[in-house]
Each structure stands twice: as structure tokens, then as C-alpha cells.
Amino acid sequence: AQSVTQPDIHITVSEGASLELRCNYSYGATPYLFWYVQSPGQGLQLLLKYFSGDTLVQGIKGFEAEFKRSQSSFNLRKPSVHWSDAAEYFCAVGASRNTGFQKLVFGTGTRLLVSP
Amino acid sequence: ETGVTQSPTHLIKTRGQQVTLRCSSQSGHNTVSWYQQALGQGPQFIFQYYREEENGRGNFPPRFSGLQFPNYSSELNVNALELDDSALYLCASSSGLYTGELFFGEGSRLTVL
């Protein structure tokens, strides 16, 4: 069964500092991997996704993530954090075509706090 | 292009009641999924509808049911509400079964007293 672990519940970063949010997944086949962001009272917005190919994926708002199969990881990074990046970040793994339907399994999220 | 819209945004029910949540999918999208997000948790997959039929379901009891209409809008129905059903219910649409990218609405916040 698929699973996602986000080991950090909260992270506080100073504005302008770099950011790395950790994500580890468990899945038997080649995974589809996603990072979503959720602001308070809002739905989920897709930041980036990995299906295949280049293991370094660029997303919106200056975010990137690197897929490392050997470590079963898909960590999210940003070189310089802005105050508006404060939100909840979710990593998710998607089912492959073999299941007959599309289901995302989400981690429990990492809340990012940005200090002045 | 209209995004995914959900209604109502907030509602309060009591145990044992029934609730219907509604979702209008993004224009051109024929697949709708529903997720439950409890406080402090990640979203959990309830089920997916494709071309008006349920084609995948998570670990939710039968009192969670749904519909998809010819215009691809959708409803989530929950019968015999329990306190643990209190959550944010998210609808997501996509343009096919395996596009990978889901477009989420802002959710319906259900409180069960």
C-alpha cells in the first residue's frame, strides 16, 4: 500500500532563508509524486509534480523538488522564502494506471511559519 | 475558465442527520474525486467518479455515497452523521483518469455536534 511520511510537523524559517521540506514515500512501482500547498481556509494548490524523466522538478512560486529513488524521497526546496509562503504543505503519492482509478495518498503535512 | 466550486462552505449538523455537499467541476473535466480532511491531517480519498459512475473508493463506509451528473458536477452524501465526520470535505476534478493533476475546490467545512 502507498504511504507518505512528512517527518516535520512544523518548520520555522526566517524570511529570505532557504527552505527544505522532507517527504518520504512507500510505493512498489514508479510513483507519481506531488507537492500541494494549502493556505488557511483554502483548498489545495498544486506546486509541482513528478511523473518521470528529469528527477529535479520545477514548480510554481519558485519551488523545486528532487526525486531520489534510492532514498524514496521527494523533498521540496526553495532558495529564498517569502512571508507569503507561510502555509501548510502536503506531499502526495498517486496510484499508477494499474489500479483503474486515480487516488492520491497524502502525508500529514508540514506547517511552514516564516519569521521576519 | 471557472475553477472547482463547492457548496456550502460551512455547515453544522447533529449526530444522526444526513448531509449533501455539492461540487461543480472545472470546465472540461469529467472526473471528480472527494477527499475528507480531518483537523491536522492530510486529505483522505473517499471515492472517485468518472463519467457518472463510481470507479474507485477508499476506506469509507457505505453511508458515504455520491453522484455525478451529466454535466460532471457531483454530490457527496453522508448518512447517519457521526461526530468523527466533522472535517473539511474537498472536491477535486481532473480532465481524465490518469492526468495526475487534480484541481481542488476550497472545501465544505462540516461540523457535527
pLDDT band at residue A100 using 50, 70 and 90 as cut-offs: low
Residue A97 has pLDDT above 70, yes or no: no
Cβ-nearest to B94 among A34, A92, A102: A102
Q: How far apart are CA A103 and CA A111, in angstroms?
A: 23
Residue B89 grid cell: 470535505
Report pLDDT for B35.
97
Contacts of A60 in chain B (CB under 8 A): none
Q: How far apart are CA A101 and CA A107, in angstroms?
A: 20
Residues of B at the A interface, defined by Cβ within 8 angstroms: 4, 31, 33, 35, 40-45, 48, 50, 55-56, 58, 90, 92, 94, 97-107
Residue B104 grid cell: 481542488
Chain B within 8 Å of A52 (Cβ-Cβ)?
no
Report pLDDT for B99.
64
Three-class DSSP labels, A37-80 = EECCCCCEEEEEEECCCCCEEECHHHCEEEEEHHHCEEEEEECC
User: What percent of chain B has pLDDT above 70?
Assistant: 95
pLDDT digits 0-9 by tens, A47-85? 999 988 889 999 999 999 999 999 999 999 999 999 999
Report pLDDT for B83.
97
Mean pLDDT of the A34-46 span = 90
Cβ-nearest to B56 among A41, A101, A108: A101
Q: How far apart are CA B96 and CA B99, in angstroms?
A: 6
SS3 of residue A18 by DSSP: coil
CB contact under 8 A, B98 and A108: no
Report pLDDT for A41.
77
Q: How far apart are CA A14 and CA A84, in angstroms?
A: 12
pLDDT band at residue A101 using 50, 70 and 90 as cut-offs: low
Beta strand residue intervals within B18-101, DSSP E: 19-24, 31-37, 44-50, 53-57, 64-68, 74-78, 87-94
Contacts of B98 in chain A (CB under 8 A): 97, 102
Q: What is the mean pLDDT of chain A?
A: 91
CB contact under 8 A, B41 and A42: no
Alpha helices in chain B (DSSP H): none
pLDDT digits 0-9 by tens, B32-52? 999 999 998 999 999 999 888
Mean pLDDT of the B84-110 span = 89
Q: What does DSSP assign to residue A99?
A: G
